[in-house]
Amino acid sequence: MREIVFDTETTGLDPREDRVIELGCVELENRFPTGRSLHRFINPEGRSVHPDAQAVHGISNTDLADKPVFSGIADEFLEFIDGAKLVAHNANFDIGFINAEFARLGLPMVDPALVVDTLAIARRKHPMGPNSLDALCRRYGIDNSRRTKHGALLDAELLAEVYIELAGGKQATFGLETAADKPAEERQNTTAPVVLPARPRPLPPRLTPAEQDNHAAMVAAIGDNALWLRRKQDNAESNTKAESA
């Protein structure tokens, strides 16, 4: 399974008016880094970098003056992501900008089915948050000390590590890989599950005799509608059916 973890930096927040000025991508294969990456700075074609955006990523119009425009790197980007899922943090933002750039060039938009949003995954896994990239790096012990400013490639590299942890850590494939994902010869050679023998003697009860007597008195006080009595009756009926089968 091939995935591209990516991040963008932009001139501002509105994809209809603002432009992508930095693109960073990291390739994963079966949720392990392959070492392949793509990093490009992009000339915004006359669009000025908003001061608030520059305060976040530190990229100025002067830095971008000699860089290629998006149309100059679009084919390279499309080739790099071809056939892969796209992984981003708060993916709606990054995909919105990528789709806006594609639309200006008359290219098809990114298929939403190919997009993985790590922010949505983090919110499900850690509903109490916080779930920013920095917060997730701290949660998983990932060194983000180089991240004094936002940068597309650095953020993509950090997010790749976070994504692997969100998926279960370095051994994620052991838990997430299904039989259907394996080659036929591996499925045929799968070792049968180990069947443990029954315990020769049941464990002693954890309740003291006095606690058991108190519980029985409470059940008797509830009467015939006590859930414990219903459960006991259901078990007795199940055993009777099993014996008669």
- In this structure, the answer to whether residues 171 and 228 fall within a common structural domain is no
Round to whole Å and give the CA distance between 180 and 157.
30
Q: Which of 64, 57, 19 is nearest to 40 (CA)?
A: 64
pLDDT at 243: 53
Cβ partners under 8 Å of residue 70, min gap 6: 19, 20, 42, 45, 101, 104, 105
Identify the domain containing residue 95 by its residue range. Answer: 2-182
40 and 155 fall within a common domain: yes
Query: Has residue 21 been placed in a domain?
Result: yes
Give the model's pLDDT for residue 185: 46
> Which helix (H) or strand (E) element contains residue 230?
helix 227-244
Residues 142 and 23 in one domain: yes
Same domain, 167 and 235: no
Q: Could you read off the pLDDT of 112-161 as tens digits, one per residue?
A: 999 999 999 999 999 999 999 999 999 999 998 988 889 999 999 999 99
**pLDDT value at residue 170:** 63
- Please give the positions annotated as active site: 150
Q: Is residue 12 part of a domain?
A: yes
Please return the burial class of 234, using the count of CB atoms within 10 Å of its CB with bins 0-12, 13-18 and 19+: exposed
Tell which of 182, 200, 219 closes a domain: 182
Claim to verify: residue 226 and residue 113 sit in the same structural domain: no
- 9 & 98 share domain: yes
The verdict on residue 45 lying in a domain is: yes
Q: What is the CATH number of the domain that holds 58?
A: 3.30.420.10
Same domain, 92 and 174: yes
| Residues with pLDDT less than 50, the chain | 172-183, 185-187, 189-190
DSSP 36-93: EEEEEE-B-TTPPPPHHHHHHH---HHHHTTSPBHHHHHHHHHHHHTT-EEEETTHHH
Quick one: pLDDT at residue 239?
56
Same domain, 38 and 159: yes
- pLDDT for 29 equals 96
Contact assessment for residue 104 and residue 145, using Cβ atoms and an 8 Å cutoff:
no
Residues 97 and 216 in one domain: no
Residue 194 lies in a domain: no
Task: Mark whether 160 and 216 lie in a shared domain.
Answer: no
d(CA 149, CA 126): 25
Are residues 44 and 122 both part of a single domain?
A: yes
Packing angle, helices 91-104 and 70-81, rounded to 10: 120
Whether 202 is in a domain gets the answer no
Tell me the C-alpha distance between 45 and 24, whole Å: 19
Residue 12, pLDDT score: 97
Q: Tell me if 189 is assigned to some domain.
A: no
pLDDT of 220 reads 81
Query: Cα–Cα distance between 209 and 21 in angstroms, integer?
Result: 74
- The model's pTM is 0.68
Strands (E) in the chain, as ranges, are 2-10, 20-29, 32-41, 85-88, 115-117
In angstroms, rounded to a whole number, what is the distance separating the alpha carbons of residues 154 and 150? 8
Query: What are the residues facing 3 on neighbouring strands?
Result: 28, 85
Q: Which two tokens stand for residue 2?
A: 């091939």
Q: How many domains, in total, are found in the chain?
A: 2
The answer on 88 and 177 residing in a single domain is yes
